[in-house]
Chains A and B, each alone.
Chain A
Amino acid sequence: MTAPAAPLTPVQAPGVPRMARLLRAREAGTLALVLLVFLLTTLKNHNFASSGSIQQLLVGASLVALLGVGETMVLVTRNVDLSVGSTLGLSAFVVGNLFRTEGIPVWSGFVIAIALGATVGAVNGLITTLVKVPSLVVTLAMLYIIRGLDSKLVNGNIVVPSQVPHAFIEVGYETVLGIPWLAIIVAVVVIAVGYVMRTFRPARELYAVGSNPDAAALAGIPSGRRVFVAFVTSGALAGLGGALFLALFAQVDNSAGLGYELNVVAAAVVGGVAIFGGSGTVVGAALGAMLLNTIQQGLVAVNSSSFWDEAIAGGLLLIAISIDRLLALRVARSLRSAEGAHREL
């Protein structure tokens, strides 16, 4: 049996109308859940649908969604990046500190943040691919090293709003046509990376590496190089996340981004990214972040005791991955029976 030259993804499957394909996609389920939570919350509290509240929803999800994009790229290759939270924290402080001491121009804040994050990602990627050690261990170690470095740099000397240029902070709260800048930036990244991940060969190869490493190697895919690029992208986006964190909160101490790593992984998993690689999209991860954030803010809006938030979020996460598993089993069964029917013909 020979493999087809270009594997057919569900998106490319012929003979299915475009609309039906969109509705059947895993992301549609997540989006429907987001809307459902939104509607249910709005029924109980009409203010939840106000433009201010919707802006809050978008802004609240944007950082985790942004980090989720990079995390998805790493996860589909069967790796994981646990250092994203620390990288975000380091980048946020370094940029804030440069504004304070050097008075660098606003645009360079973003450039430095991305470059710094990419450097961390390159270290992760180099160690993981060159020395061939598990990325979970490497990025766990980097989580501590970078957080330690960050705390050492901060050393009680936190960045406060008055030290950050006004134009930079505006990115955090200004809106265009009612949509926050922050959400626009993240949406552009999500759509751009989502398009690349769907369309271009090197990006498709990330899925190949993750779904069957041996087969990918035999097919001549330079796995190491692809995984390296995934880590650099994840780091760069975490760095950008740091700049956006600074713009959003205008204040940075050494706890910026603390514990984000597991939230980001959770968002990706809720959005349908397989933790063991090979499947999932960045749009799914971003919607996963939206879902978790909408649930969280929805709980606040319906005025249930805030003590319940975490438990409910955890329960929903478990339900999400269980449903995902059930769906996967059903798809596998229907694929098997379709194959059987095909053979009989």
Chain B
Amino acid sequence: MSSDIAPPAAGAEPAAGAGMQGARPDRPAGPRIRQSLWQQAGRWEVGLVIVLIASLAFGSSESSTFDSQTTLFYGGINAGFISIMALPMMLIVVTAEIDLSVASTLGMAGALLGDLWHHGWGLWPALIAALAVGVVGGALNGFLVAKAGLPSIAVTIGTLTLYRGIAEILLGSQTIPGAGDRTFPAWFTKIGVVPVPGTHLSYTTVFFIVLAIICGVVLHATPLGRSLYAIGLQPEAARFAGIRVARIKFWLFVASGLICAFAGILLVAQNSSVSYNAGYGLELNVVAIALFGGVSIFGGRGTVLGVVLSAAIVATLQMAMTQMNIDPNVQEIVIGALLLISVVVPSLGKLARWPALRARRSRS
């Protein structure tokens, strides 16, 4: 089922990224058994489908109200905006970069929207301004990473603080709409209350699906998408192959800024209000969803389907555990354990071969 959008060659050869920054220092150099492309690319997504089915079964066996329409709806409301940010994050991680400023960009865009609304702007101009500030924020990240050549993890820790700080400057301690403000129009805030007509899906879920399809097509079916894998695996080789590495990375960060700003607007609509700390500290959750979806932190590997499944699993588990009154702290442990298992289990084969490798190494 995953074969139709699974990545061919580039995505299926993680070991080739060994030259990248942060690559494993001592990857065993022993002969690898070559698997078919389908096997390599599809394996992780198949595992995720099984986990998703298991968590759905777990949820509905433990709670009678679990599979009702409201669960589907609120699951999307709770996890939707984080999942939306995971999509551009995933594209960036495939190129072996990272964007830790996503949650702050979300906060900055929401804060600008709130501030302009507070100062009497119309909703549409304010929405466009919020999206624009996301683009500007993304462009600053992109400039510093792609043009100035600074490490993205350091740059985006900086902009994480900067963008959240700008949100704080804009709104201070007030919540918009406060006393004396106009409330947001009903058509805007109903996004968080009613499902898309004719379905049981929240608007956030639908936006996520649409964006996922766009990302999936771009990543898996266009030359641009293929070049992202090439950049992640071997930036030097990609450059010599004529791929405009810097330009592509720049626009990826811009896209990330835009989509995070969009997620910020959705969050304002869902909550019918905004304060400067909206989405505070969620950047690592976003990274976790992308990584759990099988995206390699070293770049060059990962599928959009994997990230979609990962987002669905996290949303399902959260809903199920909340309905079972499992306290949120244990939920955190479960999500962390899943992430840990997701990287450890695929490597256990390596571990089993370890003594043999070691013996061979000491002989030579």
Please give the residue numbers on chain A whose beta carbons come within 8 Å of chain B beta carbons, in ascending order: 77-78, 82, 127, 130-134, 136-138, 140-152, 155, 209, 213-214, 216-217, 223-224, 227, 254, 258-259, 262, 265-266, 269, 275-277, 305, 307-315, 317-318, 321-322, 325
Contact = CB atoms under 8 A, between A and B. Distances in A.
A206 B207 CA distance: 46
Contacts of A216: 25
Interface stretch (B3-11, B37-45, B177-185, B329-337): B329-337
Contacts of B287: 140
A149 B335 CA distance: 12
A78 B298 CA distance: 12
A227 to B, nearest CB: 8
Contact of B340 (A130, A141, A305, A310): A141
B355 to A, nearest CB: 12
Interface residues of B, number: 57
B333 A144 contact: yes
Nearest to B350: A132
B154 A269 contact: yes
Nearest to A218: B26
Contacts of B329: 147-152, 155, 254
Q: Chain B interface mostly helix, strand, loop or mixed?
A: helix
Interface stretch (B225-233, B267-275, B341-349): B341-349
A259 B168 contact: no
Contacts of A314: 158-165
Closest 6 A/B residue pairs (Cβ) = A311-B165, A213-B25, A314-B162, A144-B336, A310-B165, A314-B161
A132 B343 CA distance: 9
A161 to B, nearest CB: 24
Given A217-B25, A309-B165, A147 B351 contact: no
A142 B340 contact: yes
27 contacts: A131-B351, A132-B26, A134-B343, A141-B337, A142-B336, A144-B336, A151-B329, A152-B329, A152-B330, A152-B333, A155-B329, A209-B25, A214-B25, A214-B26, A262-B100, A275-B151, A310-B162, A310-B164, A310-B165, A312-B165, A313-B165, A315-B162, A317-B158, A318-B144, A318-B158, A321-B150, A321-B151
A312 B163 CA distance: 10
Nearest to B291: A137
Contacts of B158: 266, 314-315, 317-318, 321
Q: Chain A interface mostly helix, strand, loop or mixed?
A: helix
Given A133-B347, A143-B336, A275-B154, A308 B25 contact: no
Nearest to A123: B340
Given A148-B331, A325-B150, A82 B337 contact: no
Contacts of A309: 165, 168
Contacts of B166: 311
A145 B337 contact: yes
B160 A145 contact: no
Given A144-B288, A266-B161, A78 B25 contact: yes
Q: Which of A82, A254, A318 has the most CB of B within 10 A?
A: A318
A280 B288 CA distance: 28
Nearest to A261: B284
A132 B336 CA distance: 18
Contacts of A134: 22, 24, 296-298, 343
A308 B350 CA distance: 50
B194 interface: no
Interface in B16-52: 21-27
B256 to A, nearest CB: 17
Contacts of B333: 144-145, 148-149, 152
Contacts of B25: 77-78, 209, 213-214, 216-217, 223, 227
B172 interface: yes
A226 to B, nearest CB: 10
A138 B27 contact: no
Contacts of B330: 148, 152
Given A137-B339, A310-B168, A314-B158, A147 B148 contact: no
Contacts of A224: 26
Given A78-B25, A213-B24, A309-B165, A145 B159 contact: no
Nearest to A222: B26
A138 B340 contact: yes
Contacts of A209: 25
Nearest to A215: B25
A305 B330 CA distance: 39
Q: Which of B21, B23, B336 has the most CB of A within 10 A?
A: B336
Contacts of B354: 130
Nearest to A224: B26
Contacts of A311: 161-162, 165-166, 168-169
Nearest to A209: B25
B155 interface: yes
Contact of B297 (A77, A137, A317): A137
A213 B26 contact: yes
Contact of B150 (A82, A262, A312, A322): A322
